[in-house]
Structure 1
Amino acid sequence: MHVIVKGKQIDVGDALREHIEESLENGVAKYFDNAIDAQVTLSRISHNFHTECSVHIGSGIDVTASADHIDAYSSFDSTLERIEKQLRRYKRRLKSHHGKERYQAKMAFAAQSYVLAPEPEDDTDDAEAQGDWQPMIIAESSADIPDCSVGEAVMRMDLANLPAMMFHNSGTQELNVVYRRPDGNIGWIDPQVAKTKKSA
């Protein structure tokens, strides 16, 4: 596994870099022996070190986690602990999925992903001025929409620590969305159900 360790406005020393590379390779290998690459970024937030880690284990599946701690080593160790917990939870499903990687990769859709600036906080009561506001694109990147089951979409969303995920439902052949609800449950939007009811 290729591991990239970066510091955002901080210097990552050789000892910490070696600790991160060795610990991450050993930690991931306990659950998944064919991980492709990983990226670890350390930064400072106030008095704490903040560690973000993303491990790419194939076919568009990424495992991500982050943690803060006053000590850089502890910040990384807490992040790795979360990565290992996610891998342990989905170990069996990841192993069976790995054999279907080429098929799944072919069935993925390419899409464009955008980050929009939030609406400015303005105390004005001018409804006309507020209605004219258009969100500004501040970042864009490409994204893959996987072809998978609802269960696998939930797994992918959980592993990547995302609030929502769009996927091509392999059962209905429709675009679906799974998302985290405020009550802790997972929501699932399936347009196919609405179409069936309408045609009935």
Structure 2
Amino acid sequence: MQITITARNLEITEPLKRYAEEKIARLQKFVNQITSVHIILSVEKHRQIAEVTLHVREHTIRGEESSADLYSAIDLVADKIERQILRYKEKIVDHSGRGLGRSAELAESEEPTPAESESFPEDGPRIVRTKRFAMKPLSPDEAAVHMGLLGHTFFVFRNAQTQEVNVLYRRRDGDYGLIEPAG
């Protein structure tokens, strides 16, 4: 497992680095196919923030927590990732035989396009980031699993039944909504 630690607005001390690596390395007891981990530690005013992005096979699990103390933020995000891994393993057992292995590879790449700066006038909204990712066909249930693992409020995927691009989103009441193209 390759662990990368990035610092924003702070200097990483050796004890802090060791603590973060040990906390994240213990997640291997829950799932041993972790290929890489990216930890981002940052300070914003009075908040200490720890973000973790974990790559397990073709899945991406992400968590972010903040606290007044960076060590407790690392603890909180490690616990959050652990809960997500356990949920992920539960879903795999629930969907066994339905082929969760067909899931989308979230090989995201940020590629600025020349049209970004020309899209809107100077004083209006701007496109500041573009993401591209491979979309393998998923059922809406599988898309919900991926959305939960990523911690996002929406998820774009190709519907395995209709082969159309759909958007799954989390509603304020906690349920999900599905947007499908008409006609």
RMSD: 3.2
In structure 2, C-alpha distance between the alignment counterparts of 1:105 and 1:183, rounded to whole Å: 27
Match of 1:77 among 56, 69, 75: 75
Task: Show the counterpart of 1:25.
Answer: 25
In structure 2, C-alpha distance between the alignment counterparts of 1:81 and 1:47, rounded to whole Å: 22
Question: What TM-score do you get using the length of structure 2 for normalisation?
Answer: 0.81
In structure 1, C-alpha distance between the alignment counterparts of 2:18 and 2:170, rounded to whole Å: 36
Give secondary structure in 2 for the equivalent of 1:12. coil
Instruction: Determine whether 1:159 maps to 2:149.
Output: yes
More helix by share: 1
Question: What TM-score do you get using the length of structure 1 for normalisation?
Answer: 0.74
One-letter amino acid of the structure 2 residue matched with residue 57 of structure 1: V
Task: Show the counterpart of 2:37.
Answer: 38
Unaligned runs of 5+ in 1: 118-129, 196-200
In structure 2, C-alpha distance between the alignment counterparts of 1:89 and 1:37, rounded to whole Å: 19
One-letter amino acid of the structure 1 residue matched with residue 2 of structure 2: H
One-letter amino acid of the structure 1 residue matched with residue 72 of structure 2: S
Give secondary structure in 2 for the equivalent of 1:145. coil
Asked if 2 retains the 8 angstrom alpha-carbon contact of 1:109 and 1:144, the reply is: yes
Rg bigger for which structure?
Answer: 1
Aligned residue pairs: how many? 175
Asked if 2 retains the 8 angstrom alpha-carbon contact of 1:113 and 1:143, the reply is: no
Instruction: Determine whether 1:183 maps to 2:173.
Output: yes
Task: Show the counterpart of 1:90.
Answer: 88
Task: Show the counterpart of 1:147.
Answer: 137
Give secondary structure in 1 for the equivalent of 2:33. coil
Asked if 1 retains the 8 angstrom alpha-carbon contact of 2:108 and 2:131, the reply is: no
The one-character-per-residue Cα deviations of 1:79-134 (angstroms, maximum 9, x if unpaired) are 1111111111121334759x864x5569x8999888x89xxxxxxxxxxxx9xx86
Task: Show the counterpart of 1:13.
Answer: 13
In structure 2, C-alpha distance between the alignment counterparts of 1:72 and 1:112, rounded to whole Å: 28
One-letter amino acid of the structure 1 residue matched with residue 33 of structure 2: N
Q: Counterparts of 1:63-142 in structure 2 under 5 Å?
A: 63-94=61-92, 101=101, 104=103, 135-142=125-132
One-letter amino acid of the structure 2 residue matched with residue 46 of structure 1: K
Asked if 2 retains the 8 angstrom alpha-carbon contact of 1:39 and 1:54, the reply is: yes
CA distance change for structure 1 residues 162 and 25 in 2, over 3 Å: closer, same or farther?
A: same
Asked if 2 retains the 8 angstrom alpha-carbon contact of 1:112 and 1:143, the reply is: no
The one-character-per-residue Cα deviations of 1:2-42 (angstroms, maximum 9, x if unpaired) are 11111102111111111111221212x23211011111111
The one-character-per-residue Cα deviations of 1:163-195 (angstroms, maximum 9, x if unpaired) are 11111111222211100112221111233xx54
| Regions of 4+ moved over 4 Å | 94-97, 103-106, 108-114
